[in-house]
Structure 1
Amino acid sequence: TGGSNAFAAPEAFQTRSSSRPSPPPRPDLSSLASSAAPEQHAVSSVPEQKAATEAGVLPLYKIALCCLLTDLKINCRDSLLVSRAQAPSLPGYLDLVEALQQRVAAAAELKDVAALCSVFSGFLRNSLLPSSCSPDVQVRLLHALAEVGLDQRRE
């Protein structure tokens, strides 16, 4: 797969997200520090922090990916039938989406869903569902998902 994302958000969605208010300023952490000994403020090692962060993020990605795949499976079926000349066959398409849903449900690490997160990055970033896109985009999305499915079977 290439470096660019075929599912980048349309310009209208990008301007919407850029007009959001800026987050409130962060408090000065040095003023919140206690007078405890430095060893009591010791920070865990970077690998431990990374593992903890991934463990917290993984369930969120799994839920989001399952929602996107379910939307594609249920709400995009009719539009994909209309553009059937370009779309994979319906049984194959349903099998693909179901296999990817099972893979997401079984994921134990963030790396297990990284390829799907990459394919769906524009949707995740802009809180969009595949059913809100044109049938052409849905067909391209299916082809990208088929590539991910094939790539992961080879591994």
Structure 2
Amino acid sequence: MNSNEYVLKDNDFIVSKTDPKGYITYCNRIFVEAAGWSRFELIGANHNIIRHPHMPKIAFKILWDLIQSKKEFFGFVKNLRKNGGFYWVFAYITPDLDLNGNIVGYTSFRKKPNTEGVRQIEPIYKELLEAEKRGGIAESYELLKKLLSANDENVIEKYHKLVFDLQKGI
């Protein structure tokens, strides 16, 4: 474990809710503890307050594309703590819909990720970040497709299969 890393307990379950633009409207105690900000600092802040610079932007593009089209997102996410440290989560994010099917917000559930899965996803994220530095999100996306042996039609399906397999330890 890195001395700057906060590690979730096996039974920790982080929950947060945002409005449609990503501003936090609810966060549970475990989220407050992991992030290191007070509840007062988190409520009303954009959820990207915990976005770690080691996370490739393509991961968040996929996330937003999915949830804005009323689909679910699963993935490994490295989050930034207030003190400059970090913590890893396995995230599940879903849109909240009203009775007419309109998106009224998003709910995110996070738990402790598989340690081996994190070890395997970190170099992939590093490669995606390097591609992003060279050619932006477009180059990062092309590299992701190549790494997944995917095309535009099945990149999300293959990405989710990868993260599920890593979380299960396959």
Please indicate the TM-score interval, normalised by the length of the shorter structure: 0.3 to 0.5
Higher RCO (CA < 8 A, seq sep 6+): 1
Higher helix share: 1
Higher strand share: 2
Q: TM-score, normalised on structure 1?
A: 0.33
* Larger Rg, first or second structure (1 or 2): 1
Q: TM-score, normalised on structure 2?
A: 0.31
